[in-house]
Amino acid sequence: MMKVLNTCLLRNCYYLQSSSLQIIGSIGAVDAGLDLGKEGLPVHIGSSITSLLGQGGPDNYRSKWRWLRYFNSDKDRRDLITCGASSSVCAAFRAPVGGVLFALEKVATWWRSALLWRTFFNTTVVVVVLGAFMEIWKLRAIRERRVDHV
């Protein structure tokens, strides 16, 4: 991930096959007890997924959506990967500001104020969506308990 963010152009780095193998390898490394750190796995998964979304998906199913034209430049793709990393840290630890600071400190190669606001907006959306899913999950659990006790 860091090679892509530091403008080293690697072919087939974040395609579907390589991304899925990297994710499975990261999960296996954590399961085997290797020291990847707490945030290593979520950051890698979030970066891989956002990179695939920015490319339009895998080569076989590449989409032609109009919003993908915003990610034609390398700078915009790097910003998207940084936003994916901050969102995954935010979702994993429920810390939006921590996700932004982690992404700007460890992931972003160049700091810009626009990138700060993009990552902050992404983590805010993640907090809202995660909170809505948690509330739905709580309501479903309460409803199932009521049915079981009646």
* Residues 50-75 pLDDT 10s: 777 777 655 555 666 666 666 667 77
pLDDT of residue 129: 94
Chain CA centroid to CA 140, Å: 27
Q: Among residues 86, 81, 71, 67, which one has the least CA distance to residue 125? A: 86
Domain ranges of the chain: 2-149
pLDDT of residue 133: 92
pLDDT of residue 144: 80
Quickly tell me which residue has 């020291």 as its tokens: 35
Quickly tell me which residue has 């085997």 as its tokens: 32
Are 19 and 51 within 8 A, CB to CB? Answer: yes
CA distance 19 to 142: 38
pLDDT tens-digit readout, 85-133: 899 889 888 888 988 998 888 887 778 888 889 899 999 999 999 999 9
Total-model pTM = 0.72
